[in-house]
Structure 1
Amino acid sequence: MSHPRLVLITGINGYIAAHTAATFLRAGYSVRGTVRARTPNVESLVHKLSEHHDGTKLELIEVPDISANGAFDRAVQGVQAIAHLASPVSMTEADPGPMMRAAVEGTTSLLFSALAESKRKVGGQAALKSVVFMSTISAVFSPNRPDGHAFTEADWNDVAEEAARTLAPGSSGYLIYQASKTVAERAFWKFGQESGAGFGMTALCPAPVLGPPLYLPQPISSLSMRVKDVYDILHGGPIPDFAPIRSTFIDVRDVAELVFRATQQHDQTAGARERYLLVGQSAISPQGIADTLREHFPERRDIIREGNPGEAHPEMMWKFDSSKARGLLGRDWVGFSESIVDSAKLFMDAKI
């Protein structure tokens, strides 16, 4: 099977996107990435990605405002696949308006550009065949489900969707995040239905993502949230409280591989529409991070808080069925312990 020549990855300097870029480059693709600006972190990413290509397969385009009309018109030109991974992410935002608009308009702006590009014919066929959208388990998990409910791709966070209609300044930052991601994914599917787009569309809904960053951002406090939990606990920080979403996990390398495989799937099945729930393991708990670190890094036991060793999560009322995504991955998930240890080794080796 021939691979698409060029893939666009939006927000390429993000935690998941950086691994995704490396995955595509290793597979022989050329990669075009969007960034808001050429920052030192972007330069660190470019340096790291140079390990995965010959120096000619990576291109960056600045898109300062992803929600602007036509923001991606230039970026989509000539691409055969798009991985839309750029999204506003803030757990502390108190004003829902800007974040909600940016999440939805950033998605629809990209899709309008993709639709126009898909109408360009190469050899009598549409050049653009695939758009993969990074959603989240927060668009699937809804706390109002009955005990014993097993979440699948068919579920939606209707609590967040209802909240999206009533959010006001001062609302919970996490609720705003959940609502913004849910309505953005809804906008993704609505566009696909109403536009008649011929390209394949896939939404990936990952659990909280762990695993070693491809590059270390500066400041280190800007690490992705769950990875920062590992860094903080390794350095003596508090063990976070249990939460239902925190009882699930997926490794960043598995997420990147699934973006790649979803693109391949579209290459084989034109116009496919697929949604995947990505949960590599459940149930886990933040205490498990501390236990794993203390076991594998005994020299830091005086630094890493003990907490309540062996304490499991409170009895979980729900389950998560990610067998569909596991089938697409085609191998076992990266395990929780491996993900934690690999992240910590990176921090230790970097002496940060």
Structure 2
Amino acid sequence: MPPSDLILITGGTGHLGFRTLRYALECGYRVRAVVRSAEKEQKLRSHALLKNYTDDTLSFVIIPDFLAEGAFTKAVNGVKYIIHIASPLATGAPDNADAEKYFIQPAVEGTIGVLKAAHDHGKGILRVIITSSIAALFPKNYMDDPSKFPDFAVSSQRHQEYPHGPFPNTMAKYSASKLAALIRAEEFVRLHMPAFDVIHVHPAYIYGRDDLAETKSDFETGTNRIVLDPVLGTARTDAFMSAWIHVDDVARIHVQALDANVQGNQSFVVAVSDVLFSWDDVCRIVARRFAQAVRDGRLLNNGSYRTVYVPFDVTKTIDTFGPFKGFEETVVSVVGHYLEVLSREK
């Protein structure tokens, strides 16, 4: 990989963003990471998995406000690719968060800000990868009630019209933000016909080791708590959708999608949704792989979800990028990491 290939990555202080940043470095790219503050820059610079990279390989740019006019103008100078991951998440959001101000406006304006800066920059930027979500690909009411999930195979070929409220819960607000950002990004490409192309990546719920989680409390937010809840006996819902994906696969696809052999201006669903999947598999895997932790009470391993099957058409994604990691490997990576942190804290 020529050292001149520089990627601008947003969202590097999050679960997916950090793994994607690392994967890009592991593949030989240089990375310019966008952070919101000097404190966040220091958090990444000093991380054990990044501290050995030189400034020539890993650099940073501080942008406190992604929504400010021209926020990304200087950040895109000299880059060949952009991976835009930063966006408001449902996990950790206040229950009463304003849909427009907390979710939709930041998601849309952040995405358009990146695209506009890349377009105004002119030639040199070849491709922009945008993290969307499976939540952008099926109607809002399916996010309101798990029993209403669609019986058709969700694919990247269809999404709904621009979302309008009211949005009854946090997940519906998040879904609306992802759909709104997707629609506006597609409109931008149609209207401006930029020199670069755009690829949207639509992950399911992302699980897997999060190396930014360093304390027990860090596992209280983020999607990994969905895997941990039945293991810790703290399940907060009686039903959950079957679709999931390992963070390593999502990060890998974001970076592999930069390859010129992957056709641009298309979308990829990144999800595993096996009709035989059951959330009860979590406790069965943990009982077998972490038997001692169950016996000594560190893991109660007595929770469960009712599994709501949602089919996804991922044929194109697997044909392009290869197969995904299995659920057992995913569970082991989350629970094993949790036990590591628990041991350090004690």
Q: TM-score, normalised by structure 2?
A: 0.85
1:291 pairs with 2:284: yes
* Equivalent-residue separation in structure 2 for 1:67 and 1:228 (angstroms): 30
1:241 alignment counterpart = 238
> Which residue identity does 2:315 align to in structure 1?
S
* Equivalent-residue separation in structure 2 for 1:68 and 1:222 (angstroms): 32
SS in 2 for 1:186: helix
Alpha-carbon shift at residue 229 of structure 1 (Å): 2.5
2:300 alignment counterpart = 304
* Equivalent-residue separation in structure 2 for 1:206 and 1:229 (angstroms): 16
Matches within 5 A, 1:172-187: 172-187=169-184
Alpha-carbon shift at residue 189 of structure 1 (Å): 0.8
Q: TM-score, normalised by structure 1?
A: 0.84
SS in 1 for 2:283: helix
SS in 1 for 2:269: strand
Describe the shift of the 1:134–1:260 C-alpha distance in structure 2 as closer, same or farther (beyond 3 A): same
Alpha-carbon shift at residue 221 of structure 1 (Å): 3.5
* Equivalent-residue separation in structure 1 for 2:244 and 2:70 (angstroms): 35
- Deviation per CA, 1:213-249: give whole Å up to 9, x if none: 1332567346653212234444442364223xx3101
Gaps of 5+ in 1: 120-125
Question: Do 2:279 and 2:306's aligned partners in 1 also have CA atoms closer than 8 Å?
Answer: no
Question: Do 1:238 and 1:305's aligned partners in 2 also have CA atoms closer than 8 Å?
Answer: no
SS in 1 for 2:79: coil
1:106 alignment counterpart = 110
1:278 pairs with 2:277: no
Gaps of 5+ in 2: 143-147
Describe the shift of the 1:131–1:57 C-alpha distance in structure 2 as closer, same or farther (beyond 3 A): same
- Deviation per CA, 1:227-279: give whole Å up to 9, x if none: 12234444442364223xx3101110000110111111xx3478x21100111
* Equivalent-residue separation in structure 2 for 1:208 and 1:5 (angstroms): 30
- Deviation per CA, 1:31-83: give whole Å up to 9, x if none: 00111113368515642342674553111111111111111111111100000
1:122 alignment counterpart = none
Question: Do 1:7 and 1:79's aligned partners in 2 also have CA atoms closer than 8 Å?
Answer: yes
1:325 pairs with 2:317: yes
* Equivalent-residue separation in structure 2 for 1:260 and 1:110 (angstroms): 17
From 206, 210, 227, the equivalent of 1:209 is 206
1:123 alignment counterpart = none
* Equivalent-residue separation in structure 1 for 2:238 and 2:118 (angstroms): 41
> Which residue identity does 2:84 align to in structure 1?
H
- Deviation per CA, 1:131-180: give whole Å up to 9, x if none: 0000000001336699641111112145xx4xx32337xx4111111101
2:253 alignment counterpart = 258
> Which residue identity does 2:15 align to in structure 1?
Y
Alpha-carbon shift at residue 296 of structure 1 (Å): 1.3
The CA RMSD measured in Å over matched residues stands at: 2.7
